[in-house]
Structure 1
């Protein structure tokens, strides 16, 4: 099981971030990214919201760094760690806009893009952007198919129910022939959608329920199941608890862990990353070689 991190600072839900993150900026994020890269972590994340209603921000938080700008910067400060949107809301973008913007990111990062994609659930945000909320699942399915036909193509062509294009040049485009798609969601339908892609990033479900859903599915070889512990890990303060939490994820079917880390500062966060990396031999975790 590979281990990546849910990048701190870039999203700050009310109960899911530490106090130091409120005043942190790109230098702290960059330092953490460089450390994770050097230690062989699998991926960084950045999620997407354009604007969150004040009432919704009380539960979701209001801080969401733009993933494209953030990853463009972090790509220049790292060498091998993957850059995973978790997630882009498909209804907010035309597939060719994603193909251009994130295809460019794939090129400047040397082929390190993973596209986490989701249907979206915040109706007010859809309305703000002039995107249709009703029928968004069917539109998302069509967008995923259009993206798969487009990301690595200079002259993409796709003819679907909601998206139809040909004879257009998209340059630059992704350099990976097959950019991994991770599908976010917590329903059986999201898992079915993910099984037609490359991975599933569920949230907010007990591990036993997730394990049962995966056991009933026809999961193909090479399919990523990206799970996270229910609480942030403290590998310096309690290495055994941290290690066992990751083992439980693997036993539930995870191939990739996306972890949150307890820390009091960016420097402490980097120390925690090193401590978690040191647990790898004991708990069977997968890291790349240190740089």
Structure 2
């Protein structure tokens, strides 16, 4: 099981970020990213919300850094770690806009993009952006297919029920032959949608429920399941508990763990990354040496 991090600072949903995150700057995030990169972590994350209604912010949080700008900067500060949107809301973008913008990110990062994609559920945000909320699931299915036909292609062509295009040049485009597409969600439908892509990033479900859902499916070879412990890990203070939490995630079916780390400062967070790295052997975690 590989290990990535749910990047601190750049998204701060409830139950709440660490106190230091509220006043953190990009340099704090960059130094954490550099440490994770050096230690061999699989990925960083950044989520997407354009504008969260004040009432909804109590449930969802209000701090969401823009993933394209954030990852553009972090790409220049790192060399190997993958950059995973977790998640980009499909209904807010035309597939070719994603192919162009994030294909450019793939180019400037040297092929390190992973596109985490979701249907979205915040109707007020859809309305704000002039995006249709009704039927968003069907549109998302079509958008995923359109993205698969478009990413990594100079002249993409696609003809679907909602998106149709041909005779267009998208340059630059992604340099990976196949950009990994992870689908976020917490329903059986999101898992079925993910099976048409490369991975599933569920949230808000007990590990037992996730294990049952995964056991009911014939997962394709190479399919990634990205799960995370329900609470931040404290590998420096309680390595046994951290290791046990990761073992439970692996037993539930994870191929990649997305972890949050308890921390009191940016420096402490980096220390926690190193402490978790030390658990690699006993708990069958994958940390490859940087090439």
Shorter chain as normaliser: what TM range? over 0.9
Give the Cα separation in 1 of the matches to 2:287 and 2:267: 21
Q: Secondary structure at the match of 1:28?
A: helix
| TM-superposed deviation, 1:13 | 1.3
Q: Deviations over 1:113-136 (max 9, x none)?
A: 000000000000000000000000
Q: Deviations over 1:33-88 (max 9, x none)?
A: 00000000000000000000000001111000000000000000000000000000
Q: Secondary structure at the match of 1:3?
A: strand
Aligned pairs (5 A) from 1:255-270: 255-270=255-270
Could you tell me which runs of 5 or more consecutive residues in structure 1 were left unpaired when the two chains were aligned.
none
Alignment correspondent of 1:86: 86
Give the Cα separation in 1 of the matches to 2:73 and 2:81: 13
Alignment correspondent of 1:203: 203
Alignment correspondent of 2:165: 165
Is residue 39–residue 287 contact of structure 2 (8 Å, CA) maintained in 1?
Answer: yes
Give the Cα separation in 1 of the matches to 2:282 and 2:159: 50
Alignment correspondent of 2:249: 249
Alignment correspondent of 1:100: 100
| TM-superposed deviation, 1:92 | 0.1
| TM-superposed deviation, 1:25 | 1.0
Give the Cα separation in 2 of the matches to 1:281 and 1:97: 42
| TM-superposed deviation, 1:163 | 0.4
**Residue 24, structure 1, aligned to residue 24, structure 2:** yes
Runs of 4+ aligned structure 1 residues displaced above 2 Å come to none
Task: Indicate the larger mover: 122-131 or 10-19.
Answer: 10-19
**Residue 44, structure 1, aligned to residue 44, structure 2:** yes
Aligned pairs (5 A) from 1:20-169: 20-169=20-169
The number of aligned residues is 291
| TM-superposed deviation, 1:290 | 4.5
What is the root-mean-square deviation of aligned Cα atoms in Å? 0.7
Give the Cα separation in 1 of the matches to 2:187 and 2:166: 34
| TM-superposed deviation, 1:23 | 0.3
**Residue 284, structure 1, aligned to residue 247, structure 2:** no
Structure-2 change in CA distance of 1:188 and 1:160 (3 Å): same
| TM-superposed deviation, 1:16 | 3.4
Alignment correspondent of 1:7: 7
Is residue 184–residue 202 contact of structure 2 (8 Å, CA) maintained in 1?
Answer: yes
Give the Cα separation in 2 of the matches to 1:162 and 1:228: 34
Give the Cα separation in 1 of the matches to 2:99 and 2:13: 29
Give the Cα separation in 2 of the matches to 1:288 and 1:70: 25
Is residue 80–residue 290 contact of structure 2 (8 Å, CA) maintained in 1?
Answer: no
| TM-superposed deviation, 1:288 | 1.6
**Residue 186, structure 1, aligned to residue 213, structure 2:** no
User: TM-score, length-normalised on structure 2?
Assistant: 0.99
